Amino acid sequence: MDCKNVRKFICDYMDLNPERKSTLEKHFELCPHCKKQLISHQKSCESIKKALEFEVPQNYWNDFSLNLASQKPYSFLSRLWANQISETIGFLKIPLLGPVPAYVFSVLLLVFLALGLFPTLFSEKKMERWPNNLVIAENQLISAVDDGRVTIYMVETK
């Protein structure tokens, strides 16, 4: 790795994977200039971290008050409910089987659902209309119209 490439990785040096880190370390042993850059960068990072350190000013927490009393009715009830629900369905949180069986179960459920719906969606019920206003389906007399009056039958016709 040449100096130009090494410098690209200097800012991410502490988070590099061990393999890349070791490549860079080998380069630093041979290249004092890049090593100097690394040290300078690390010092800069430290200075930035130090400059943005949270130094609590005097009396900072004096006016820090949590009005928990106003939260109490809601939070107390919600906590009770949350505990109750958590205890009741807590066993669902335990990953007994892991995600793979869950996916398989979902896919199977979808397949079964599709298979169940298929005949309903695509089957063609043979409806026949006879000349004397009789409606027959699957060997059953469904209805008959006589003088504008509809009569429904459930008589088997063979």
Least distance in angstroms from the C-beta of 45 to another protein: 7
Which H or E run contains 136?
strand 134-137
Per-residue tokens: 38: 């690394």
Which position has the token pair 């200097």? 10
DSSP letter (8 states) at residue 59: T
Q: Which is nearer to another protein, 74 or 122 (CB)?
A: 74
Binding mask 1-40 vs another protein (x if CB under 8 A, - otherwise)?
A: ------x--xxx--x---------------------x--x
Q: Does 67 bind another protein (CB under 8 A)?
A: yes
Q: Does 79 bind another protein (CB under 8 A)?
A: yes
Q: Does 51 bind another protein (CB under 8 A)?
A: yes
For the packed helices 18-30 and 32-51, what is the interaxial angle rounded to 10 degrees? Answer: 120
- Where helices occur in the chain by DSSP H, the ranges are 3-10, 18-30, 32-51, 68-88, 90-93, 99-122
Binding stretches for another protein (CB under 8 A): 7, 10-12, 15, 37, 40-41, 43-45, 47-52, 54, 56-57, 60-68, 71-72, 74-76, 78-83, 86
